[in-house]
Structure 1
Amino acid sequence: MTSTLLALLYDWTNGVVMISVFALVCVILIGVLVNFMMSGKGKNKTEDN
């Protein structure tokens, strides 16, 4: 009885929104990092002479 009463009193919407925003920011940051790593300039052997 008490657990159902506590579940009704608590609003889950704010927590779900905060976790969703945090997950979205993490995915965007990982995507930017991977893009930055893949577009890095490789060593050009003709310039080393």
Structure 2
Amino acid sequence: MQVILLERVPKLGQMGQIVNVKPGYARNFLIPKGKALRATETALGAF
């Protein structure tokens, strides 16, 4: 799953980067904690 990082995440990337992560990691950790957004066309356009 591709996500856009909203803040620096150690061992993953810097703010604004688009990275590939496992879907469970994105759904259960990054997105609920506000550290990332799913990289949809709408999110890419807004960022």
Does the alignment reach a TM-score above 0.5? no
Which has the larger helix fraction?
1
Flag the structure with more relative contact order, 1 or 2, with Cα contacts below 8 A and sequence separation at least 6. 2
TM range (shorter): under 0.3
Point out the structure with the larger strand share: 2
What is the TM-score with the length of structure 2 in the denominator?
0.23
